[in-house]
């Protein structure tokens, strides 16, 4: 396929109609339709079908679109790579961060990064595995800073360990669980989990190790502000990065439980795709992240 074919497929998928895609590409609709037909003939497959409003991907079209998005992303990165090497400090960088990274790592990284690349558009979004890794693998994100995935989920990834954070359980001041010392006291509590529903419960292994049933968090939130607001002044519980406590305790009516049972720490890492080199801007951001992590705590082990 030609570059214009890839561009056309992605534009139609994102716009949802030929007319809107033609407008976004500043082309006539007949010209766009012709390019799409050429792409479909070359691939030997129908990519889009007419829908009530615009078009929608066929079953095979969804696979083609996913691959086209990855190719399109690589073309953009190649262009940015060359321009940045030649001294043009423009481009885009998409970083996905966990709450700990958002609060304790990224703010300081920004100062160093902006001195080198003041004109790069930086998008910082919250996310957790497995969703964050899916976005990384699709080419939509350049870096993920968050919990290191399990070994079975590391295929194709390059991981640099940054910091190992203790995990605490937090609740509202005055909560009936505020003085709990054992996990068995928390089995029937109402739990809130950071991240998406499909993410595994952070301290499930600790409950299992203690021979206890694993609580099922009925509420999840990608927003730390919303999560803390739901915990403040309540009996709700949440497992939380210990390295963030000094940031939230002065601002929220929240306490950490004095647990005596073992709760395993979480390794936070810098995650990229092993076969996709970073642009100069991406590498500068990664270097600043590694530098910042040295001030938080030593990495727990060698690179994976």
pLDDT digit of tens for each residue in the chain (304 aa)?
788 999 999 999 999 999 999 999 999 999 999 999 999 999 999 999 988 888 999 999 999 998 898 888 888 888 888 888 888 878 999 999 998 999 999 999 998 999 999 999 999 998 887 889 988 988 889 999 999 988 888 999 999 999 999 999 999 999 999 999 999 999 999 999 887 666 677 799 999 999 999 998 888 888 889 999 999 999 999 999 999 998 898 999 999 999 999 899 999 999 999 988 999 999 999 999 999 998 886 444 444 4
pTM: 0.79
Predicted confidence at residue 301, as pLDDT, reads 42
pLDDT of residue 176: 96
Q: In the prediction, which pLDDT does 302 show?
A: 43
15 Cβ neighbours under 8 A, 6+ residues apart? 21, 23, 24, 54
Please give the domain boundaries of the chain with CATH numbers for all domains: 3-81 (1.10.10.10), 89-164+267-296 (3.40.190.10), 167-264 (3.40.190.10)
């Amino acid at each position: 396929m030609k570059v214009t074919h890839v561009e056309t497929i992605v534009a139609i998928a994102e716009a949802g109609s030929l007319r809107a895609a033609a407008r976004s590409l500043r082309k006539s609709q007949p010209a766009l339709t012709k390019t799409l037909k050429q792409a479909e003939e070359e691939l030997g497959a129908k990519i889009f079908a007419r829908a009530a409003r615009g078009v929608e991907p066929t079953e095979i079209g969804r696979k083609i679109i996913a691959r086209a998005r990855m190719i399109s992303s690589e073309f953009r990165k190649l262009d940015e790579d060359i321009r940045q090497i030649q001294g043009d400090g423009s481009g885009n960088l998409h970083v996905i961060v966990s709450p700990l990274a958002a609060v304790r790592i990224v703010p300081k990284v920004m100062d160093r990064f902006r001195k080198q690349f003041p004109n790069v558009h930086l998008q910082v979004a919250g996310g957790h595995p497995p969703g964050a890794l899916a976005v990384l693998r699709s080419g939509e994100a350049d870096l993920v800073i968050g919990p290191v995935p399990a070994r079975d989920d590391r295929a194709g990834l390059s991981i640099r360990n940054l910091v190992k954070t203790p995990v605490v359980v937090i609740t509202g001041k005055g909560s009936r669980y505020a003085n709990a010392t054992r996990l068995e006291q928390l089995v029937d509590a109402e739990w809130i989990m950071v991240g998406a529903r499909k993410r595994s419960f952070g301290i499930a292994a600790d409950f299992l190790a203690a021979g206890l049933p694993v609580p099922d968090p009925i509420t999840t939130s990608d927003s730390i502000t919303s999560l803390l607001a739901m915990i403040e002044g309540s009996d709700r519980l949440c497992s939380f990065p210990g390295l963030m406590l000094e940031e939230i305790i002065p601002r929220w009516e929240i306490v950490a439980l004095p647990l005596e049972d073992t709760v395993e720490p979480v390794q936070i890492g810098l995650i990229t795709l092993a076969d996709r080199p970073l642009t100069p801007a991406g590498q500068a951001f990664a270097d600043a992240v590694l530098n910042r992590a040295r001030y938080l705590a030593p990495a727990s082990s060698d690179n994976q």
